[in-house]
Amino acid sequence: MNPCETELQTQRDQVIAQLRDELCHIQPRLPQIWPSNSLFQADIGLDSLDLVELVARVEQRYGMLIADTDIPNFISLDAMADYICFRKPA
């Protein structure tokens, strides 16, 4: 991996850790660690209200607005981290 790829991976790993933390505040019953490709609804049992709360927390934490049309794409930590890393302000 070149230095730019390493930096991007580190940034993505940090976003995933922050998302896990937010999710554990929303749903305290969740384990601290689970595979980042686990599906929010099918694998870890989040409902639509949990996802809406997560989106609101992400918007506040990262200073971004997330379009309602983008929310269905948030199916896992991986998908959400990719979205955030691609769109968050520098």
pLDDT at position 79 is 97
The structural architecture, per CATH, of the domain 3-87 is Orthogonal Bundle (1.10)
Burial tier of 54 (Cβ tally within 10 Å: 0-12, 13-18, 19+): buried
pTM: 0.87
Domains of the chain, by residue range, sit at 3-87
Answer yes or no: is pLDDT of 1 > 70: no
pLDDT at position 5 is 67
pLDDT at position 3 is 65
* pLDDT tens digit sequence for 19-58: 999 999 999 999 878 999 999 999 999 999 999 999 999 9
Amino acid at 31: P
With a CB cutoff of 8 Å and minimum separation 6, the contacts of 27 are: 45, 46, 50
Answer yes or no: is pLDDT of 4 > 80: no
pLDDT at position 89 is 65
The single-letter DSSP state of residue 38 is S
